[in-house]
Amino acid sequence: MKRLMMILSCLSLAAIAVSPVRAQGNAGAPVVEKSPAPVVPVDSLPLLEKAVAKDSTRFDNLFRLGVMYLDRDKVNEAIKVLTKAHVLQPKDHRVTVNLGVAFDASGTPTLAQGYYRETLAAFPEDSVASCRLASSLYSQSKHAEATALLQEIIKKSPRAYCAYFTLGVAFADAGIYRDAIRMWRKVVEIAPTSPEAISARESIDVLEKFVGQ
């Protein structure tokens, strides 16, 4: 049982719902050259860091850099940059949610929850902020409060797949495996290409093998 929960804990690490959108390449384009030169990806982080160092008053650059730091697990750097962005545009909910994510990652969920609640005070229908708040509460073993919030999210936004995902984690943690599977299948149904769906499929596979034993 302990081994099962350890596996599920690893699989059910919630992906950052506010991760940067990456441009899709033209995958269908034919290759003309017989031996094309290898494409070397450009690391935009140093370029963005230089741009921010040169001018730290540009909100867009600060926000992009903060999200990029989060994407690379540079939490302290993300907090510093996103805080500057928050000062410039305190009402931008993307910044406050990302600050919450950063503080959660730094092990300070109380601060994180403050930013999620700040977002929800201005944008009550923001399901991402609500899901993040629920996950943060759950990490503090505030299970009843987190579960009630998740159920409220689903009632208001039936397609909020982040809520189904986290509720699945809660069910699995409580040993209610069939309900966990049901929640994760809903994630796959609603958002099949999301990071949560990838984790949900893996978790379903683990649980179905366990339940079928």
* Sequence-distant (≥ 6) Cβ neighbours of residue 151 within 8 angstroms: 167
Distance, in Å, from the CA atom of 168 to the CA atom of 177, rounded to the nearest integer, reads: 8
Distance, in Å, from the CA atom of 112 to the CA atom of 18, rounded to the nearest integer, reads: 14
pLDDT in tens, the chain (213 residues): 444 444 444 444 444 333 333 333 333 333 333 444 444 445 689 999 999 999 999 999 999 999 999 999 999 999 999 999 999 999 999 999 999 999 999 999 999 999 999 999 999 999 999 999 999 999 999 999 999 999 999 999 999 999 999 999 999 998 899 999 999 999 999 999 999 999 999 999 988 888 774
Model pLDDT, residue 44: 87
Distance, in Å, from the CA atom of 158 to the CA atom of 190, rounded to the nearest integer, reads: 10
Domain annotation for the chain: domains and CATH numbers: 44-124 (1.25.40.10)
Model pLDDT, residue 43: 67
b/e per residue 156-179 (b: at least 16 CB within 10 A):
ebeebbbbbbbbbbbbbeeeebee
Distance, in Å, from the CA atom of 147 to the CA atom of 171, rounded to the nearest integer, reads: 9
Residue 33: DSSP 8-state: S
Model pLDDT, residue 73: 92
State the pTM of this model: 0.79
Model pLDDT, residue 209: 84
Distance, in Å, from the CA atom of 69 to the CA atom of 133, rounded to the nearest integer, reads: 21
